[in-house]
Structure 1
Amino acid sequence: MKVTGHPEIMPGFAWYDVDADGVRIRTCVGGSGRPLLLLHGHPQMHLTWHKVAPALARDFTVVATDLRGYGDSAKPAGGVDHIGYSKRMMAADQVAVMRALGFERFDLVGHDRGGRAAHRLALDHPDAVARLVLIDIAPTATMYDATDKAFASRYFWWFFLIQPYDLPERLIAADPDYFLDRHIAGQIKVEDAVDPRVMAEYRRCYADPATRHAICEDYRAAFGIDLSHDAADGDCRIDAPVLALWGARGTVGALFDVVATWREKARDVRGFALDCGHSPQEECPDALIAALRGFLGRGSGEA
């Protein structure tokens, strides 16, 4: 179903609510050529790609979605063990969206939480992923296993948001804008990188208690059932070629050998840092576009 979007922010795109096997996923589509799916992180939504998506749409059919629980997508119940927000379920949503749009195989870019869903998607649906780009993450299990004072202090929300319902939800509800603003300010290293119009959308979405609860469920799943799924697939490797990118001014590259961590999870990995913090799509979009084009090529060929 076509819906009203933000053409003033992402010109040339159209917005839809796509039924992904019973879960409504807000989806933004533009351009032509080989399909390219963009998955955002926390606390963003699909508009985080607004500086790169129009340029990529000259070469690709670009699809940018809101993950379940985020933005204007549906917010289903978490269920037992928070399975409703497992990366397996999030990945299945995205495969269903792409199939509904007529794409069985596609290139995939995931930032932050979207990168964790993309990791699971590449394992569970290997035939669907032609090439995979992971932005500013090391594997979830690797990061938890290496937890020390430096990581725990820099990534405090990984340990705050997993607390039992409704402790984090209630505390964030006292001042959602403050929590959101401080979170983004702590990760962005390029001044004025976040467009005020997009920031307003982040705030609008974060103002919804259902969104904040879903975000906590996402992190609770990552600390529990996602780790179980990862352990069960410990010997599996991503088949698709992987490009790992990270911010040279951020935490992940400072604490982890990013390429080495992904070489433990995938057969073909390359990567490098970009001059930014956590969100290159907002902080250094031109450099990110160049990196993506260098790895993905042009979008007119077969996936």
Structure 2
Amino acid sequence: MSVSFPGFEARDVEVGSPDGSVRLRVRTGGAGPAVLLVHGYPETGAMWHRVAPALAETHTVVVPDLRGYGASDRPPGDASHAAYSKRAMGADLAALMAQLGHASYAVVGHDRGARVAHRMALDHAGAVERVAVLDIVPTRHVFETLDARVALAYDHWFFLASESDLPEVLVGAAPEHWLRTKLAQWSGAGDRFDEVFAPEAVAEYVASFDAASVHATAEDYRAGATVDLEHDEASWTAGERVRVPLLALWGEAGLVGRGYDPLEVWRAYADDVRGHGVPGGHFLPEEAPAETLAALRGFLTHGG
């Protein structure tokens, strides 16, 4: 059974990017101001299935699979890891939105998708009207303030960023076990796993997590520890900030909520920051869909 997005159309869109064209799988639905919903690791656009249809009552909602994830292309990586930089991923999505006819739009990102959203707000400031970042603090801040507690909680950052082929070999030996373990580990699901994570959504995550995606998503983390940091440091040094309204949401039981003051952190990177915690762990749109939807509706519609 496929994930239900009532009233949405799923199709493939080929977009140009600095490193060549990329085919993205995208779901679209609704009418009104445009909002781009960007998923994180190790999921696909299916993670928005409890939020997107309701947002489509008032907005045109665009839900892509990032390059390397889901049913989108998996461009080959190289030693620079630039193909999986947040700048490259953001360029894909900016090109997608332009091709779909949206000159301006809001971006809502979760996890890795929130890191893409942050980069888009800097690189495509003329198009991004407002940005919501779900359960992250900026990549640069994580590395700048790293301690043992965060390193142990974010162990996958350093494992997947390994320059050897160990992530591909080890994760590739049991990809479904890895994926389900990480969903359980980062969430507050406990013995409610099948209630929190819809079986049809998990089935999509598992089906798309093939060898090529295992490699591509490891490249995403390698980029996070290398070229993304270079881009972020250059932006910081140049005084670039997010100038549009920014909403930060986080899971109250997750590392971001317990380990950081997210609003204080984001105010070092953005001019107009608001937000709050919601119940549960890392996967807000699946663990706390009602609270996440209410916050997004208020932010997107009224700016609250």
Tell me the TM-score normalized by structure 1.
Answer: 0.94
Which residue of 1 is the match for residue 43 of structure 2?
Answer: 44
Deviation at residue 229 of structure 1 after TM alignment? 0.4
Matched, 1:217 2:219: yes
Unaligned runs of 5+ in 1: none
Q: 1:195 aligns with which of 178, 195, 198?
A: 198
CA distance in 2, matches of 1:115, 1:78: 21
CA distance in 1, matches of 2:126, 2:233: 22
CA distance in 1, matches of 2:240, 2:49: 34
Per-residue CA shift, 1:94-117, capped at 9, x if unaligned?
000001100010011000000000
Which residue of 1 is the match for residue 65 of structure 2?
Answer: 66
Which residue of 2 is the match for residue 246 of structure 1?
Answer: 250
Which residue of 2 is the match for residue 109 of structure 1?
Answer: 108
Which residue of 2 is the match for residue 146 of structure 1?
Answer: 145
Deviation at residue 265 of structure 1 after TM alignment? 0.7
Which residue of 2 is the match for residue 204 of structure 1?
Answer: 207
Letter in 2 for 1:176: P
Letter in 2 for 1:43: P
Which residue of 1 is the match for residue 179 of structure 2?
Answer: 180
Which residue of 1 is the match for residue 240 of structure 2?
Answer: 236
Which residue of 2 is the match for residue 155 of structure 1?
Answer: 154
Structure 1: 4+ residue segments shifted above 6 A: none
Secondary structure of the residue aligned to 1:16 is strand
Secondary structure of the residue aligned to 1:123 is helix
1:60–1:298 contact (8 Å) kept in structure 2: no
CA distance in 2, matches of 1:146, 1:70: 29
1:59–1:298 contact (8 Å) kept in structure 2: no
Deviation at residue 168 of structure 1 after TM alignment? 0.7
CA distance in 1, matches of 2:151, 2:255: 11
Q: 2:267 aligns with which of 263, 268, 277?
A: 263
1:247–1:280 contact (8 Å) kept in structure 2: yes
RMSD of aligned residue pairs (Cα, Å): 1.3
Secondary structure of the residue aligned to 2:61 is strand
Deviation at residue 298 of structure 1 after TM alignment? 6.7
Letter in 1 for 2:277: A
CA distance in 2, matches of 1:222, 1:24: 22
Matched, 1:19 2:14: yes
Per-residue CA shift, 1:85-138, capped at 9, x if unaligned?
000000000000001100010011000000000100000010111111000000
CA distance in 2, matches of 1:14, 1:267: 36
CA distance in 1, matches of 2:164, 2:208: 20
Which residue of 2 is the match for residue 137 of structure 1?
Answer: 136
Matched, 1:296 2:300: yes
Secondary structure of the residue aligned to 1:228 is helix
1:15–1:27 contact (8 Å) kept in structure 2: yes
Per-residue CA shift, 1:9-44, capped at 9, x if unaligned?
111100111111011111100011100100000000
CA distance in 2, matches of 1:259, 1:220: 27
1:38–1:109 contact (8 Å) kept in structure 2: yes
Letter in 1 for 2:197: V
Deviation at residue 165 of structure 1 after TM alignment? 3.4
CA distance in 2, matches of 1:46, 1:173: 22
Letter in 2 for 1:232: A
Deviation at residue 79 of structure 1 after TM alignment? 2.7
Per-residue CA shift, 1:274-296, capped at 9, x if unaligned?
01110110011111110011111
Which residue of 1 is the match for residue 167 of structure 2?
Answer: 168
1:20–1:93 contact (8 Å) kept in structure 2: yes
